Amino acid sequence: MPTYDVVSSVTDADAEELWPVYDAVFADLPDIATWRAEVWDRHATRPGFRLARARDGDHLVGFAYGYTGEHGQWWTDQAARVLPPDVATEWLGGHFELVSIGVLARARGAGLGAALLRAVTDGLPHERWVLMTTDDAGDPARRLYAREGWQVIGPGLGGGQVTMGRRRPTGS
């Protein structure tokens, strides 16, 4: 039975623990130094940062993280350029930006992604939550978001991507 925790600040040791899982899932950066310099260290210090982690015993098997997205941040500004103006005005700025969910292949299919998504968004003060994902409606991640109430609000930043949004559930 996996265990979960959510933190709002991280240490170097947390980054060291997270990197192998990130790399196994995404394999999009050459090494931990590049990941930290180009992504993690900047994201982990943003206002509203939250990291949810799933462990199987002592082993990290999954994570989800995000932060408060604001105008002046790269992704928010790029999304504002591709979304219809009324959608960008309604959804961007002061939103919770779900950046990544990653679950090791050996741990998939047991509901960890859904549990991590719920953990990282539980109790958020943000009225609007936004993410970018594949435009393939049959993709497991995309199906997860749809099951959890996320809807396509416009195109993503590149081909084969969409931007999805969800409003904070009433009573949360």
Model confidence pLDDT, tens digit, residues 41-69: 999 999 999 999 999 999 999 999 999 99
SS3 at position 172: coil
Question: Does residue 128 form part of some domain?
Answer: yes
Name the one residue in this structure whose structure tokens are 């997205």: 69
> For residue 71, how many other CB atoms are within 10 A of its CB?
11
Name the one residue in this structure whose structure tokens are 């393939």: 136
Amino acid at 164: M
The dihedral built from the CA positions of residue 72, 76, 78 and 82, taken in this order, carries a sign that is negative
CA distance 77 to 74: 5
State how many domains the chain has. 1
CA distance 127 to 145: 17
Question: Does residue 69 form part of some domain?
Answer: yes
- pLDDT value for 170: 81
Question: Does residue 108 form part of some domain?
Answer: yes
Tokens matching residue 145: 């978001």
Question: Does residue 46 form part of some domain?
Answer: yes
Contact in structure between 113 and 131 (CB atoms under 8 Å)? no
Tokens matching residue 11: 């240490």
Name the one residue in this structure whose structure tokens are 């309604």: 90
- pLDDT value for 155: 98
Question: Does residue 127 form part of some domain?
Answer: yes
Residue ranges of the chain with per-residue pLDDT less than 70: 171-172
Q: What global pTM score does this model have?
A: 0.95
Question: Does residue 152 form part of some domain?
Answer: yes
Question: Does residue 172 form part of some domain?
Answer: no
Tokens matching residue 144: 């997860």
Domain carrying residue 38: 3-167
Q: What are phi and psi of 133, to 5 degrees?
A: -150, -175
CATH at 8: 3.40.630.30
